[in-house]
Amino acid sequence: MPGKDDPVIIKKYANRRLYNTGTSTYVTLEDLAEMVKRGEDFTVQDAKSGDDITHPVLTQIIFELENKEGQNMLPVSFLRQLISFYGDQMQMIVPSFLEQSMIAFAKEQERFREQMKTALGKSPMEMMNMSTPMKAIEEQTRRNMEMFQNAMRMFTPFPPAGTGEANGEEQDVQPDDQPADDLRELKDQIAAMQRKIDSMSKD
């Protein structure tokens, strides 16, 4: 029997039906989406092989939600940028960046909701300032993107065309262990990015 704090096991059968072993009932993708919103932890397993298929199922939930009219959240420009990172040398940074950004956003959402509740109880003149919380979130997003773009520029192995290095100026001979050094530096930079996002979320 799973422990009290263990994630609920959802089994997916060959007929695509989902079975919640915690409640002994069949569930739908919408039910799983509601479980996520309630903060209920679960893992999805292939009923036959026992493989963990939580990731593809969660991805399928997002796909279903995005296809509901008026409910999509992912802009086309974001989807294009995300697709472009697959197979790119920056792919290993993207998951960490997105995860830390969402964690920082989640920490701020309660404060944002309280600000909105307070604003809704104010006079029409004071209501004009309701955009302040949204502006704060937009500024947070802008700073996150700038930090990510700066990190990408730091890790780009070849300088853009027209720069001094590209024209042969100040070019250094790279030692044989340069890839290993780059990997260590990359990990350090990811850690620095996470600390920066955490510090901004505490402001």
Which tens digits make up the pLDDT trace of 157-193?
Answer: 444 444 444 444 444 444 455 555 656 666 676 666 6
My answer on whether 68 and 90 are in the same domain is no
Domain match, 28 and 126 both = no
Between CA 194 and CA 163 the distance in angstroms is 30
**Which of 67-71, 76-80, 152-156, 166-170 is predicted with the least confidence, judged by mean pLDDT?**
166-170
The answer to whether residue 169 sits within a structural domain is no
Interval 92-141: pLDDT, tens: 888 888 888 888 777 777 777 777 677 666 555 555 555 555 566 666 66
**Residue 168 covered by a domain:** no
Structural domain of 124: 77-160+174-201
Are 69 and 156 members of one domain?
Answer: no
DSSP-H helix ranges across 38-177: 54-66, 76-85, 94-120, 124-127, 131-155
Task: For residue 166, tell me if it sits in a domain.
Answer: no
> 131-155 and 178-201 helices cross at what angle (nearest 10)?
170
The domain boundary, picked from 73, 100, 115, lies at: 73
Name the token pair of 190.
Answer: 């990811």
User: Which DSSP string corresponds to 45-59?
Assistant: EETTT--B-HHHHHH
Number of domains in the chain: 2
CB 73 within 8 A of CB 102: no
